[in-house]
Amino acid sequence: MALTASAQVVELREVVLRDKPAELCAASAKATVPVLVLPEGVIDESLEIMKWALGRNDPEGWLEMPPLGHALISVCETKFKPALDHYKYANRYPNFDPRGERDRAAGFLHELNGRLSGQDWLFGSTPRLADMAILSFVRQFAFVDKEWFDAQPWPHLARWLADFIASPLFLSAMQKYTRWQAGDEVVVFPSERAL
């Protein structure tokens, strides 16, 4: 979404992580996605890719947020995301109680719900980097058990997530692409119609 919002055009190579192409492993020792390969080096963290794109062009002012925005992103990455993983992928983490991890993650969502009371986004009437960096993880959390999620007392959070999922920016970024293999034609992202 940051690539689209900042109009940064890249070559897209959709990969299947259970069958990682050698090119992905060669580009990044972590061999996870996303990976942005630049002439000056490799960026293999989502947040850093967002900052790179927005540092080049930030027409919506996503980077204009208070220090609390960076603190919320940090809490999301260091506390919420691990609890989300333990909850969503319970079979991979047998030493963790999935419900306990769900409840631990829900504490962060309650905090966000409070911040969203009376405003559309975390810091007012327009989205910032914190919104976009956190929302994709909230979406993942919501769809682990949507019925449970929808029953929770966080109407502002639910509205925030629903608005995000219905946004043209999200819909353009969530297009399905054919799996890339060496020798395939290059796919340009974002497409000109998304810009």
Q: Domain 2-60+175-189, what fold?
A: Glutaredoxin (3.40.30)
* Pairwise CA distance, residues 161 & 125, whole Å: 15
Q: Write out pLDDT tens, residues 159-179.
A: 999 999 999 999 988 888 888
For 41, list phi and psi in degrees, rounded to 5: 150, -170
pLDDT, tens digit, for every residue of 63-110? 999 999 999 999 999 999 999 999 999 999 999 999 999 999 999 999
Residue 195: the pLDDT is 43
**pLDDT higher than 60, residue 194:** no
Q: What is the pLDDT of residue 155?
A: 98
For residues 118 and 178, the model is more confident at 118
Q: Domain boundaries in the chain?
A: 2-60+175-189, 67-171
Which whole number is the average pLDDT over 43-68?
Answer: 96
Instruction: Name the CATH topology of 67-171.
Output: Glutathione S-transferase Yfyf (Class Pi); Chain A, domain 2 (1.20.1050)
For tokens 């506390």, the residue is 79
